[in-house]
Amino acid sequence: MSLSFHWFLPTYGDSRNLIAGGHGTSMAGDRPASLRYLNQIAGAAEENGFEAVLTPTGAWCEDAWLTTAMLVETTETLKFLVAFRPGLVSPTLAAQMAGTFQRHSRGRLLLNVVTGGEPHEQRAYGDFLDKDARYERTGEFLHVVRELWRAHEPFSFEGKHIRVQDALLNNRPDPLPPIFFGGSSAAAGPVAARFADTYLTWGEPLFAVSRKLEWIRKLAVDHGRILDYGLRIHVISRDTSEQAWAEADRLLEAVDPADIARVQANLAQSESEGQRRMLELHGGSTERLEIAPNLWAGVGLVRGGAGTALVGSHEEVAERLIEYSRLGIKHFILSGYPHVEEAYWFGEGVLPILRRRGLWQPANQRENRTVATPFATASASSS
């Protein structure tokens, strides 16, 4: 199985240290998320052969659709895994936006559907549904979007939360953007099984990830579907294990205990099952943070969402990734502090090991993309 590696685009800012907040809590880095800086991260990801960059979604970061659209013209092969919340936009408009993005980016859109796990943040956007109802609405939303992507005649739908009448797209996206979807609650599983192309999970020990993937696989089989699977995790990879763990220690030492207390108090109120699982890995304590070989839970002390990192030598990190791949993980969405430098540490250290083992090939070489020159004849463009 050829593995796909993606990087992260921190549209709230970046730093050499861990940034406190996220997942419904405000956060900002000392490297502002200017367009110039985000271009540097996107360039580092593309240069190192990553396939796509994931953007977050929420009140604490820049809008993902607008930001990534601005980066299309400064990149060539890099794809954009755009996170968005289905309850905040109509399915017809979202389907149309995906088509527009695909045409202007020449097929470089991936979609990350985020149902939303923080009630106070959802209410700030005018969404007052409870958690189970939000997942119901997400299922209806994705049903309408997928119908619009293949319909040649006007399509109508009336559900519990969504209703459209005589909806039709003039230009359907080509190719259809793959849908990435994550969720650990009982309500999330059936939605993933029916509508996702890739099911995402945060970095937990192997046995926990294996159980979660088996759960989704069984649900998908019930719907006659086979999904891909992805892992969202941070990385600290260095030439030696000692150097990598020294960096993890440095990151932890720079954390303000007041930030840990503040963020943990906010995250304890989360309705997200995935967030609860992240909190259980460390319990708010700075002790015993290596919860499995090379798996460090220190990030989750101050950051909501993905809270673990693979820490070790390039060879160790590569081996841990291979272990996850044996469970069925194909997509790895990675990040590190700061995101420019860590993209090179991983890209120059770990990816060559995986390439030598026949498990990875640079995305910008896999694609074999050619960009047409307007008004140039075939003979002129080949001269």
Is residue 368's pLDDT more than 70? Answer: no
In this predicted structure, the answer to whether residue 378 has a pLDDT above a threshold of 50 is no
Give me the mean pLDDT over the 183-197 stretch: 96
pLDDT given for residue 27 in this prediction = 86
Whether 121 shows a pLDDT value over 90: the answer reads: no
Query: CA distances (Å), 208 to each of 6, 128, 187, 211, 213, in order?
Result: 22, 32, 19, 5, 9
Looking at residue 270, its pLDDT comes to 87
Residue 25 has pLDDT above 90, yes or no: no
Average pLDDT over residues 298-326: 97
Instruction: State the average pLDDT over residues 263-275.
Output: 90
Q: How confident is the model at residue 383 (pLDDT cuts 50, 70, 90)?
A: very low
Nearest by Cα to 64 from 102, 31, 107, 112:
112
96-114 pLDDT, tens digit per residue, is 999 999 999 999 999 999 9
Mean pLDDT along residues 128-155? 96
| 339: its two tokens | 């995101």
| Residue 60 exposure: Cα atoms within 13 Å on the Cβ side | 21
Of 38-42, 86-90, 168-172, 377-381, the range with the lowest mean pLDDT is 377-381
Band (382; pLDDT cuts 50, 70, 90):
very low
Top-confidence residue, 245 or 117: 245
pLDDT in the model for residue 23: 74
How are beta strands 198-202 and 79-84 bridged, if at all? Answer: unpaired
pLDDT confidence of residue 377: 40
B/e letters for 47-83, b = 16+ CB within 10 Å, e = fewer, are ebbbbbbbbbbbebbbebbebbbebbeebebbbbbbb
Asked if pLDDT for residue 7 goes beyond 80, the answer is yes
pLDDT over 60 (residue 262): yes
Tell me what pLDDT residue 59 has.
87
Mean pLDDT over 69-93 rounds to 96
**In the structure, what pLDDT confidence band is assigned to residue 233 with cuts at 50, 70 and 90?**
very high
Please give, one letter per residue, the 3-state secondary structure of the chain: CCCEEEEECCCCCECCCCCCECCCCCCCCCECCCHHHHHHHHHHHHHCCCCEEEECCCCCCCCHHHHHHHHHHHCCCCEEEEEECHHHCCHHHHHHHHHHHHHHHCCCEEEEECCCCCHHHHHHCCCCCCHHHHHHHHHHHHHHHHHHHHCCCCEEEECCCCEEEEECCCCCCCCCCCEEEECCCCCHHHHHHHHCCEEEEECCCHHHHHHHHHHHHHHHHHCCCCCEEEEEEEEEEECCHHHHHHHHHHHHHCCCHHHHHHHHHHHCCCCCHHHHHHHHHHCCCCCCCEEECCEECHHHHCECCCCCEEEEEHHHHHHHHHHHHHCCEEEEEEECCCHHHHHHHHHHHCHHHHHHCCCCCCHHHHCCCCCCCCCCCHHHHCC
- Asked if 64 and 94 count as a contact pair (C-beta separation under 8 A), the reply is no
Q: What is the mean pLDDT of residues 251-265?
A: 94
Query: In the predicted model, what is the mean pLDDT of residues 347-358?
Result: 98
Mean pLDDT of 336-340: 98
The mean of the pLDDT values for the chain is 93
Residue 42's pLDDT is what?
A: 98
Residue 371 in this model has a pLDDT that exceeds 50: no
Q: For residue 190, is the peptide bond before it cis, meaning its omega torsion is within 30 degrees of 0?
A: no
Paired tokens of 291:
């919860």
pLDDT at 93 over 70: yes
Residues 248-277 have a mean pLDDT of 93
Banded pLDDT at 249 (limits 50, 70, 90): very high
- 18-32, 135-149, 162-176: which range is least confident on average? 18-32
pTM of the model: 0.93
The model's confidence at residue 366, banded by pLDDT at 50, 70 and 90, is low
State which amino acid sits at residue 293.
Answer: P
